Structure 1
Amino acid sequence: MISEEKNIVVSCPGCHKKFRIPKSIRFQCKYCRTLIDPDLYISLEESRVSIPDVLRGTKEDLVDTFQNLNKKRQHSFFPTPKHLMKKLAYQFDNFISYGPLAMFLTLAFFFVATWIFCLSLYFITGYAVDMGDQIWETFLQICDPSSMEKATEKNFFGKLLAVITGFLGIVIFSLVIAFLTNIFAQKLEELKKGHSSIVEEDHTLILGWSDKVPSILEELIVANDEKKSNAVVILSHRPKEELEDYLRSIVKNRKTTKIVVRCGEISNISNLEKVAISHCQSIIIVNEVPKNASKTELALSDTHIIKAILSICKNPARRPESFNIVTELLDPKNIDIAKSIGEEELTVFYSNEIIAKILVQTSRQNGLATVYNEILSFAGNEIYCINEPGTHGQTMSEIVCDFPHCIPIGLKQKGRSAQINPPMNTVIGPGDEILLVAEDEKKIYYQKSSKSLGHFRLPSALKQKARPERYLLLGWNAKSESIIREYSDYLSKGSVIDVAVPYPSVEIEEVIKKFQKRLDKIEIRLLKTDYRLREELDKIIPFSYDNIILLSSQWGEAATIEEIDSQTIYTLLLLRDMQNKAGKAVHTKLVTELLDPANQELIQIAKVNDVIISNQLISMLLAQVSRQKSLYEVYWDLFRAEGSEIYIKSVSLYFERLPVEVNFYDILGVVSQRKEIAFGYRIQRWGNRADLNFGIKLNPDKQKKILLDKEDQLVVVAEDEF
């Protein structure tokens, strides 16, 4: 007889029925069949938990809590079938989550299990005669249900087994088809996301996305035209499908260039490895900041670029060969930081300053914008740097005629910066590179010529002297301050710069005041007027100025590039209408800044040929330097006020009797007498014809005769305008 002291009361964790049993006996609940182990039961007294008097009323709740604890402990030692199924399902889910290989192994297991199961049924029922034949027959029935016709000779049960086997085979192969479909769908989805790796070599890598990228792509497509195949890879945070759809509509004729798009953060090292950065030819990092960005956004955009440069140049697993990295920064204070990271591998453009220099130069000379648009683009003539051993030991004047299809305009001596229009007695040595204007790299070759530089003499007229000028700046943007600074290097004493702004901010007024104090030889004035209105524009009398620069400015609600360009084009049409109604000849030079290259054809309706597409020019520069790193020094020498620049000068400075029929050898000879180099001409009567490049012909056939009149001009590199 079991004593009363050794009995305990336990509660079944399954159905909560209570039992009084000896503490040492395990038993199974007669109601729910749950196994109960009294040794795992913890009573409230055995827990040694002291309950204060104030909590005595909650004793029953504490008992229920201990019973729940007992239930958990018993489940851990004696899992129920339901718990086992959950655990198996959990393990199966974990196994399947490993991916396609796990799914394939699961299908293979089901196939083998089905085969063994069906084969066992044949042997159990006695329908299997020979093991080898039956194994093969069962395999065929699973793989090919049509093989069940062999079972027509069997009785009902034999036919039933064949049907079961065939049905299970259909289920298995349906799962296989679903598996393959899922694999292809996953792969397609992965490709759509743009996270897969590429296998390319000698490709151009573009990091980031902005409205400059389509122009960069167009330039690279032209540059790759002579090659059988070349790739341009774009890595951006923008969705791959979105960019591919956009590029498909914008960049239609890709010729031999393949464009590959991938999605990811440009400063992430693993993303850079996916786009084969170790095998790329060059890297272009574009600034992703929108046009209407705040100063905070501008600074943040520069930091993203600097971080990407850091990931490329300081990666421990980087390639031993140096990179050719080209980028643009919006804050000049960040240029030194970026160069300290990229060192010799990095070329940085401060885009606002470069565009400002080009706008100032083109505003002073009609047709210069067309020249820049050609030499900065891969279409038409551009600048090349070559090392030609045949020229070593000769002077610049001796090699001017020795390149049949191109024209030398400068020299980059070993260990020195590039120089446009060097002294003609400069001797070319080993390691020196000649700067040439040529249509294509294949047309550059050296051939000693017996041609003379002509017999023309310069006119006896004295050089013109600089005079005070009046300039009008319509609008204000990030380049305006640099434009005024550039003008101060060109304008003579007594010149005037008027800046017309509809709603000048305090910052704009402070900049104008700063220039008024600093620049004593020229006068800077701020005109608070809305030049977009005809009556306000009339008050300014715009065509009383020598030059006008119409800037792309963000006024009012204009936020997108298209809206900003629309306002600029509208103002330009107002100016052209005023010019047509003036009733007299207007000699004011007008240059217009636009942002979207798509508007260039539209602007030609207004018969404007001096148009600067600022985004396109920066895109051209990035593309050119990504192919020839040494060109950066060449362009910098061209754009700065010091040294030689590109000028379009009247032929009357070179020929005393006009009109005159000459070839380009004659032009090279007479221009060299002024210590200048000619590389093109401008025919005035073709000035409004876009199909003839507005009358400008660069690098012409040197032997072809040209009829020059007094209104025509020559394109030269020279130290001054006169």
Structure 2
Amino acid sequence: MSKGGWAVFLALVLGFILAFSLMGVVRYLSDLVFPNGYIRADDSLTGSVDSGELMWEVLVQLMGLRDSADDANFAARAVGVLTIFVGLILFSSLVAFITQEFETRVQQLKKGKSLVVEKNHTLILGFNDRLVDIIEELVIANESENDAVVVILSSEDKEEMDDFLRMKLGNLQTTRIVTRNGSITNIKNLHQVSITKARSVIILNDAKGSDPEEYKSLADSRVIKAILAIVAATSEVNQDPPPIVVELHANQYRRLAEQVAPGKVTTLNSADILARIMVQTSRCIGLSKVYLNLVGFTGHEFYFYQPEAGWQGLSFGELPFHFLGTVPLGVSSANGTLQLNPPTTYKMLASDKAVVLAEDDSAIRFESQAVMQPKLFDKSSLEKIRPLEFERHQIMGWSEKSLTALTEYAKYLGEGSEVCLVVGELTQDIQAACDQVAETYPKVIINIKEVNLVAIDLGCLKPYEYNSITILAGQGENSEEIDARTLTLLLELRQLCRNYTAKTGNPVTTELIAEIINSEDTELVIKAGVKDFILSTQFVSKILAQVSQEPEVMQIFQDMFSAEGSELYLKPFSLYIPDDQIVQGVTFGDCVAAAQSRNELAIGVAIAEDFSKPEKNFGIKLAPDLTTTIHLTPQDLLITLAEDQT
């Protein structure tokens, strides 16, 4: 028994076999001495026993299925009783052991301790609020697979995880969810979830952006330890670790994570990315809707494409006219460098991969011949350049995103523009950080106001005087508490703008942007009047899911969300095509050619009359067919990848 269940099972089986053999011999000898009906008819003189029938009777008696027959003699009955008694002990013990082992296995399944037998699965280590959005994205990504699997390993109780996911998730389509209980840094637990057979790994960070620095540092350390455990577990079978995607808060931990498994670990700084997105969306109305179509697997995605027959000497400027329903955005070189919106004169090399935007990889079709010839418009009457306007933006709250947001505003804004930071308590560290940004970018005015945000007395801020107001998520015990405070500030700002309009008759064009932690609060935000909002958990979750399936996509996000290089803008068509031609109708191919004349890359259009219609994707149409005629108005906008907003 001390050697475990398998040894007990073998001992019971062996005991049963020995008992069966022993009782079979005893009964055989008994019937030879005291014949009991098993004498063969043709061997009556020799007294030979029908051993087959006899052994069958011994077996069923040993199993307790039958006692001695009524016509049996005393010797047969005595041996039968002894056989049944021995069988009662051994066979019952064997049945009880099997039953107990079965119940133990069921309990292990309930507790999430059993081995995962799946392969080529996406493995998620950890359990937090971000998990639901990640799984929803993976479900969409796995629609083309017959039986996709997502495995979750967490220290949470399995039944609680299953109940939570069952309540939060809808139709999983072709995806199955497997949960297991265990430590994400334990090598044995990693083998239980088949780490060596996983397609990719996502490691969730326990700490939120609003948590204290000490706790975030501890959570980052736990992620690093999990990476080490993955490397150790896969090295035991002489195998490279699968692609690993992690979220880390500190730069030092991100560098360390990438050094642990070079080329296998992709790190994500959620605060940095969200701050950059918030700055871009606050300056360009409708841009967040474009990002929601680009991030994740809903809508259009980024792909790396290379035709089998090569690029046939095409330049990047010629490339867009050889695709249908697909827009090339840049070039990924063989040495790993990536460039979005390269010069139109760049000659495609045979080893180059094109970064393309498509609804699905199956929709990518490269034609050896150009599919259309765009029109060339007379641009003499067009506005040559779009001047940088004076802008005023306000950031409410101080978090790890604030400094990045201030720096990004200072890079984008024109001379004399203003950024106002509103904080509940102005500390020396905050003042020093703002002074540093102001010194580095003197052309932009940076003001700081100390206001009691809890008292909800925001009249002194005059929100109607700003182009945008971004409310950063504060600190709290949970996402519900944090979002409640954000929504309260949002409603107060909205009411101040309404009061101003009622008093002066002047319309307010201030855009309200709120950082929402819980994606379930989206509808509340929309009803509160936010036209352009950021869902931090949802955005980061979409990026994590997408990068887990294609790690190279992270390079695209880092380039696109940065002030350096090309970014996304929504610009009026008056910069590209004469108004009379717009009304008559143009093809998207014409738009692409017009954008190229300004060293820009057109990726779609935004229809003004549909901006408030979610059923029409808020008017956003990405990568339309080049040859389809689009009837536009001067109010519609062209979605472009450009160096700046001019």
The letter for the 2-side match of 1:419 is: Q
> Which one-letter code corresponds to 2:164 in the other structure?
Y
Helix, strand or coil at the partner of 2:545: helix
Residues 292 and 560 of structure 1 are in contact (CA less than 8 Å); yes or no, is this contact kept in structure 2? no
Equivalent in the alignment of 1:250: 168
1:82-481 matches, cutoff 5 A: 95=1, 98-106=4-12, 108-109=14-15, 112-113=18-19, 116=22, 129=36, 132=51, 135-146=55-66, 148=68, 150=69, 152-154=70-72, 162=80, 165-166=83-84, 169=87, 172-290=90-208, 292-313=210-231, 316-317=235-236, 319-321=238-240, 323-388=242-307, 389-415=309-335, 417-447=337-367, 448-458=369-379, 459-481=381-403
Contact 2:67-2:80 within 8 A present in 1 as well? no
Matched, 1:537 2:461: no
Q: How far 1:322 moved relative to its partner?
A: 6.2
For residue 652 of structure 1, what is the amino acid of its counterpart?
S
| Counterpart in the other structure of 1:626 | 548
8 A Cα contact 2:511 2:530, kept in partner: no
**In the TM superposition, what is the alpha-carbon distance from 1:438 to its structure 2 partner?**
0.5
- In the TM superposition, residue 513 of structure 1 has moved relative to its aligned partner by 4.7
- Larger deviation: 614-623 or 462-471? 462-471
User: Residue 669 of structure 1 corresponds to which residue in structure 2?
Assistant: 593
* 1:485 lines up with 2:389 in the alignment: no
Q: Helix, strand or coil for the counterpart of 1:674?
A: coil
- Residue 420 of structure 1: how far off its partner (Å): 1.3
Tell me the equivalent position of 1:721: 645
Is 1:614 matched up with 2:536? yes
Task: Tell me the distance in 2 between the aligned counterparts of 1:714 and 1:633.
Answer: 24
Provide the identity percentage.
Answer: 32
Q: TM-score, normalised by structure 2?
A: 0.89
CA distance in 1: counterparts of 2:281 and 2:517, whole angstroms: 16
Equivalent position SS for 1:396: coil
Structure 2 residue 557 is matched with structure 1 residue 635 = yes
Moved more, 354-363 or 176-185: 176-185
Whether the aligned pair in 2 keeps the contact of 1:312 and 1:318 (CA below 8 Å) is no
Structure 1 range deviating more: 670-679 or 170-179: 170-179
Q: Secondary structure of 2:579's match?
A: coil
Whole-angstrom distance in 2 between the partners of 1:283 and 1:137: 59
Partner SS for 2:631 = strand
Distance 1:457 1:567, change over 3 A: farther
**1:697 aligned residue:** 621
Query: Which residue of 502, 505, 511 corresponds with 2:433?
Result: 511
SS at match of 1:435: strand
Match of 1:30 in 2: none
- In the alignment, is residue 593 of structure 1 matched against residue 547 of structure 2? no
Question: Which one has the largest radius of gyration?
Answer: 1
Question: In the aligned structure 2, how far is the partner of 1:422 from the partner of 1:291?
Answer: 35
Partner amino acid for 2:560?
L
CA distance in 1, matches of 2:532, 2:35: 93
Change (3 A) 1:266 1:574: same
Question: Could you say if the C-alpha distance between residues 372 and 195 of structure 1 is closer, same or farther in structure 2, counting changes exceeding 3 Å?
Answer: same
- Quote the offset at 1:165 in angstroms: 4.9
Q: 2:610 pairs with 679, 686, 698, which one?
A: 686
CA distance change for structure 1 residues 301 and 123 in 2, over 3 Å: closer, same or farther? same
1:498 matched residue in structure 2: 420
Which digits, 9 at most, give the CA deviation of each residue in 1:507-553, with x for residues without a partner? 4444345445554333322222234655x222211121112111111
Structure-2 separation of matches of 1:547 and 1:374? 22
**Residue matched to 2:480:** 562
| 1:22-101 to 2 correspondences below 5 Å | 95=1, 98-101=4-7
3-state SS, counterpart of residue 344 of structure 1: coil
Q: For each residue in 1:594-649, what CA deviation from the matched residue of structure 2 results, as whole angstroms up to 9, or x when unmatched?
A: 11122223322234342211122122222222222222222111111111110011
1:651 to 573, 576, 598: 573
Q: In structure 1, the residue corresponding to 2:322 is in which secondary structure?
A: coil
Query: Does the CA-based 8 Å contact 2:204-2:246 persist in structure 1?
Result: yes
> Are the structure 2 counterparts of residues 139 and 413 from structure 1 closer, same or farther at C-alpha, using a change threshold of 3 Å?
closer
Query: Contact 1:107 / 1:175 at 8 angstroms: preserved in 2?
Result: no
The answer to whether the 8 Å contact 1:327/1:348 transfers is yes
Partner Cα distance (2:347, 2:587) in 1: 27
Cα deviation for residue 198 of structure 1 reads 2.4
Deviations 1:172-229 (A, max 9, x none): 5443332222011111122233233323332222222222222121111111111222
Query: What code does the residue aligned with 1:325 have?
Result: I
**Cα distance change of structure 1 residues 165 and 127 upon mapping to structure 2, 3 Å threshold:** farther
Shift of 1:379: 1.0
- Cα distance change on mapping 1:166 and 1:321 into 2, 3 Å: closer
SS of the residue corresponding to residue 400 of structure 1 reads helix
* SS at 1:284 equivalent: strand
Please say if residues 210 and 474 of structure 2, whose CA atoms lie closer than 8 Å, have aligned partners that are also in contact: no
**What is the alpha-carbon distance in structure 2 between the residues aligned to residue 643 and residue 158 of structure 1?**
97
Distance 1:207 1:679 in 2: 36
Distance 1:600 1:136, change over 3 A: same
* Pairwise CA distance, 1:143: 2.5
Q: In 2, are the aligned partners of 1:371 and 1:696 still within 8 Å (CA)?
A: yes
Is the 8 Å Cα contact of residues 365 and 589 (structure 1) preserved in structure 2? no
Question: Could you tell me the TM-score, scaled by structure 1's length?
Answer: 0.80
Contact 2:196 / 2:241 at 8 angstroms: preserved in 1? no
C-alpha contact 1:370 1:609 (8 A) present in aligned 2? no
Question: Contact 1:516/1:523 (CA < 8 Å) preserved in 2?
Answer: yes
Deviations 1:317-344 (A, max 9, x none): 3544564222121011222222222222
- Partner Cα separation in structure 1 for residue 204 and residue 35 of structure 2: 74
Query: Residue 113 of structure 2 aligns to a residue in which SS?
Result: coil
Q: Is the 8 A contact 2:20 2:58 kept in 1?
A: no
How far residue 254 of structure 1 moved from its aligned partner, in angstroms, is 1.6
Q: Deviations over 1:419-469 (max 9, x none)?
A: 111111111011111111100000001112241122323343242322332
Q: CA deviation at 1:294?
A: 2.1
Equivalent residue letter for 2:484: S
Quote the residue 1:604 is aligned against.
526
Instruction: Please report how far the alpha carbon of residue 416 of structure 1 lies from its aligned counterpart in structure 2 after TM superposition.
Output: 5.4
**Cα distance between partner residues in 2 of 1:157 and 1:322:** 70
466, 469, 478: which is aligned to 1:548? 469
- 510-519 or 202-211: which moved more? 510-519
Give per-residue Cα distances to partners, 1:80-119, cap 9 Å, x unaligned.
xxxxxxxxxxxxxxx3552143145236526754884798
- For 2:604, the aligned partner's letter is G
Which amino acid in 1 is paired with 2:331? L
The letter of the residue matching 1:572 is L
Q: 1:318 to 1:640 in 2, by over 3 A?
A: farther
Shift of 1:570: 2.8
2:23 and 2:58 in contact (8 A); partners too: no
Q: How big is the alpha-carbon RMSD for the aligned residues of Structure 1 and Structure 2?
A: 2.8
> Helix, strand or coil for the counterpart of 1:708?
coil
Question: Is contact 2:302-2:356 (8 Å) kept?
Answer: yes
Change (3 A) 1:623 1:113: same
Q: Runs of 5+ in structure 2 lacking a partner? A: 39-48
Taking the aligned partners of 2:105 and 2:428, their CA distance within structure 1 comes to: 56
For residues 695 and 574 of structure 1, do their structure 2 counterparts lie closer, same or farther at Cα, with a shift above 3 Å needed? Answer: farther
- Aligned-partner Cα distance in 2 for 1:267–1:316: 15
Opposite residue 61 of structure 2, the aligned amino acid is: Q
Q: Contact (CA 8 Å) 1:408, 1:436: kept in 2 or not?
A: yes
Q: Which moved more, 1:207-216 or 1:653-662?
A: 653-662
Offset of residue 489 of structure 1: 0.9
CA contact (8 A) 1:115 1:138 kept: no
